[in-house]
Amino acid sequence: MNDKLLKNGLYNAAAGAIRIGLAVLTIPVLIRLIGVEEYGLWTLASAVVTMVTLAEAGLSTTTTVFVSQDLSREDSESLSQTLTITVGAMLILATLAAIALWLGAENLVNYFPKLENSQRLAAVQALQIAGIVVWARLLQQVIIGVEQAYQQYAAMNIVITIQSVASNVGLLIVAGLGGKTLALMQYQAIINLGILIAHIWLGWLILRHLQLYPVWNRKKILVITRYSLMTWLASLGGVLFTQCDRIIVGGLMGTEILGVYAAITNITSQINVLSALIVQPLLPALSNLIANPQEYLLILKSQIKRAFQVNILTALGIGILLFISAYLVMYLIMPSKVTDEIILAFRIATIIYTTYSMNAVGYYILFAVDAVQINLVINLLSGILSLSLIYFLGSRLGLTGAILGNAGYLLSLLFIPYALKQIHLLEMRNIKNGITH
């Protein structure tokens, strides 16, 4: 991994560590302020928001990959086409998603029969406001794709860190003033609109020196649509695993157990977040290299090797720390709820998340080399297997069973061998074409 790639990874890791720290500090205080049951309702609303953001249709990753390739070729015409298509499409999708969430909020809440009438009303109102959150987040994503392609990780992470600090601290202030799920969602809408403005400003600074203009190219539209669709379907498995599990647990066990489950998985999932963030800059870097195969063979292997090392060591380091300090972490989060079952569940989740977090490099390689179909199949199968196990084991063993069901996502470790196979095929192709250095 060259110096720039490592530096970008450290920017991501530093910002990710701040977000993790804030999450660890915010979750227990928020639970104490609003109670486990209300926290479960907030988790339910947040999970629905995350699911609706699937409307981004893979355009964030697509923007990063295609803009990186355009920059590598120094093709301003192609760059104008890419940005016209991705930004235009995201604006349309974001608006449709926000409208759909506003109009369909009541129907969504009907899927949770265990909610009391007061909870049901609060959830409907919160989800309607969440339409604004979704709209702002989706537009943020496509601009972040541009920032990543331009390797502006320092500035990008400053904005993201500001968002995390403002969001978490604000949630505690709102909750401390007596605000519940609806008030928390209203605050999130304000913060996300403000951060969207910040990303737009940063994007303008990056692109202001270019003579860009709206231009539609039918062939480019088809290429981007195909890649985006495959990317979106591939990400669906991950979202199924990380958000639909909460809906299943909430439906099976109610909001109180969901609050405990969410607290455990919100903490342990940070293993994956941080270990993936530190190697995420590999995606635009590989996309750039593959667009210039003369440079590809020279540095590709060393970058991938070091990325694997960093990913694995980061996941193991955080996982071991959380496993050892399980009782302390859970006591800080919910002191009145700590039991042997909860400690066991936390340690099981730690082992599962540590292990599957080692798939990050393979995941990004498959996107970079346009092997999105492979990514799609593995991700969907992993997500579906995990949700099936969560439902089956959770309905029989309760909280512990639901946590054990997360092991289904270990199937995603198949990213690694398939990614290495794709790299080998690309290498053989380049050698065949006479590119040997």
Give me 9's structure tokens: 């990874």
Name the residue type at position 151.
Q
* 113 burial type by CB count under 10 A (0-12 exposed, 13-18 middle, 19+ buried): exposed
347/323 Cα distance (integer angstroms):
5
37's CB contacts (< 8 A; 6+ apart) are 255, 256, 259
d(CA 66, CA 288): 9
pLDDT given at position 435:
47
Task: Look up residue 383 and give its two tokens.
Answer: 């997500």
According to the model, what pLDDT value does residue 295 have?
Answer: 52
CA dist 434 and 154 (Å) reads: 38
Measure the CA–CA gap between 3 and 10, rounded to whole angstroms.
10
> How far is 324 from 260, CA to CA, in rounded Å?
19
Q: What is the DSSP letter of 339?
A: -
For residue 118, count other CB atoms closer than 10 A to its CB. 10
Supply 432's token pair.
């065949």
Q: What local confidence, expressed as pLDDT, does residue 216 receive?
A: 76
pLDDT score for 436: 45
Q: Tell me how far CA of residue 99 lies from CA of 54, 105, 273, in angstroms.
A: 14, 10, 30
Q: List, in sequence order, the alpha helices (H) in 280-437.
A: 282-291, 293-324, 326-333, 340-356, 360-368, 372-397, 399-405, 415-432
pLDDT attached to residue 102: 87
Q: How many CB atoms lie within 10 A of CB 223?
A: 16
Q: Give the Cα separation of 146 and 206 in Å (integer).
A: 9
CA distances from residue 53 to 56, 265, 422, 427 in whole angstroms, order as listed: 6, 20, 30, 36
Which residues fall within 8 angstroms of residue 156, CB to CB, at 6 or more apart? Answer: 11, 144, 147, 148, 202
Q: Do residues 274 and 435 lie in contact, with contact meaning Cβ atoms separated by under 8 Å?
A: no
CA distance 69 to 253: 48
CA distances, 303 to each of 3, 104, 413 (Å): 10, 46, 20
Which three-class secondary structure state does DSSP give residue 199?
A: helix
What gap in Å lies between CA 345 and CA 424, rounded to an integer? 40
Per-residue model confidence as pLDDT tens for the chain (437 residues) = 456 666 777 777 777 778 777 877 787 788 888 887 788 788 778 877 877 776 665 778 788 888 887 777 777 788 888 888 888 888 888 898 889 888 888 877 777 766 777 777 888 888 888 889 989 988 998 898 888 888 888 888 888 888 888 988 888 998 888 888 888 889 989 999 999 999 999 888 888 887 777 777 788 888 888 878 777 776 666 666 666 788 788 778 877 788 788 888 888 888 888 888 777 777 776 766 665 555 555 566 677 778 888 889 989 998 999 999 888 888 877 777 778 888 999 999 999 999 989 988 888 888 777 777 888 888 888 888 988 999 999 888 888 999 999 999 899 899 889 888 877 766 666 556 554 44
pLDDT, residue 57, reads 59
Q: Which stretches does DSSP call E strand in 267-332? A: none
CB 36 within 8 A of CB 334: yes
User: How much is the pLDDT for 258?
Assistant: 80
What global pTM score does this model have? Answer: 0.68
